[in-house]
Amino acid sequence: MELAQLTADTWQLEPKEVFSLLEKLSKLGVPLREFAGVEPLSGIKTGLNEAYLIEHTAYKTILSADPACSGLLKPYLRGQDFSRWQAASDGLWMIVMASSENHDWPWSNLGAEAEAVFTRTYPAIHAHLNQFRKQLEARQDQGRYWWELRSCAYWAEFERPKIMYPEISWRQQWCLDSAGTLCNNTAYFLPTDDTWILAAANAPVTWWFAWRRAVHGKDEALRFIKEFVQDLPIPRPTPEQRQAADATVRHMIEITSRQQQTQRTLLDWLRVEYAVEKPSNKLLAATELDSDTWVAEVKRIRGKKQPLSSAGLHGLRDEHTRTIEPARALAAETLKLERTLRDLADQAYALTPAEIDLMWQTAPPRMPIPPPGA
């Protein structure tokens, strides 16, 4: 260690070469807030998640009782639901009762008569929220009336294309959402669809940097809090780099969407045909399994009490050929695209071959892709 690294402000316990690379990234990168022209915005704080955050069964119950409620039921993501590049809601819904401070409801200015109008307007929503009335009334965070969410000045930003990411991050899972998906307060979003920001945020060099500068949480997670993300360095691309990144990111999003649909279809098939209700991590990464491993994992989950018949084994192998093999080809294409985006970010930072080697030699856990040549 050089004494110059041990300042009165912080001690950076890193080799000199690592310290120099960190300084280079900070110097050449533009703070994200400045680059994007926007700040990270927090997801919705409900004050009582059990009242406003519902699963698909409750969603269908409310909607069947009162179809007029459809506009108040929005898909949302929790921090643990995020995926890389493309957002994908998984049957989770938020009851969006914006405060009368932000939305002009029929009851907004009726005072004591407001609840009666709310009940007549949305009876199914009232019946659901009324189960939690005492807790909702006791909230400090609430709208003008007990059934409303706290005031939020940026509801409209959720409807626009945006970049979303979880606050507690075990890996880089920044994604683009164009479907108006909400998130709760375990996630943030940037009201921009700048694909270069998405490419840079998901780049290996950014995870390398974040591992050394972000707050560390439990179980080696990183805390992507607002104060850190708004100053996250984003390299300035050349017009050619930006154009190449945009085309690659959009292709990546399209492929990721197809992969997500394949996974949903495969898990539904396993649940119906093989009674696999809770897929293991291996089955969630089915594209990494050959045919024998795929069959063995399904057999393991079913256990000795549910042995597979010959027809069942044959069905599993057929499904591997029909669904998983094409998905494996897509995964190989995805890795190629990831490497293209990695190289573009490295080039934008003007990293030398020696600096790239240093980054991978000192790589933290869970880098998003394998090192060059692996």
Tens digit of pLDDT for each residue in 278-313? 999 899 888 889 999 999 999 999 988 899 999 999
Q: From CA 171, how far away is CA 169, in angstroms rounded? A: 5
Q: How far is CA 95 from CA 125, 147, 191, 238, in A?
A: 8, 10, 22, 43
Q: How far is CA 264 from CA 279, 283, 329, in A?
A: 11, 11, 18
Q: Is 21 left (phi over 0), alpha (psi -120 to 50) or beta?
A: alpha
Q: pLDDT-based confidence at 10, cuts 50/70/90?
A: confident
Express each pLDDT in 51-79 by its tens digit. 999 998 999 999 999 999 999 999 999 88
Question: Which of 208, 210, 233, 209 has the alpha carbon at shortest distance from 223?
Answer: 210
Stronger pLDDT, 141 or 357, i.e. the higher one = 357
Mean pLDDT of 236-244: 98
User: Which string of DSSP letters, residue by residue, matches 266-305?
Assistant: HHHHHHHHH---S--HHHHTGGG--HHHHHHHHHHHH-TT
Q: From CA 143, how far away is CA 149, in angstroms rounded? A: 5
Cα radius of gyration (the chain):
24
What is residue 5's predicted lDDT score, i.e. its pLDDT? Answer: 73
Q: From CA 197, how far away is CA 234, in angstroms rounded? A: 7
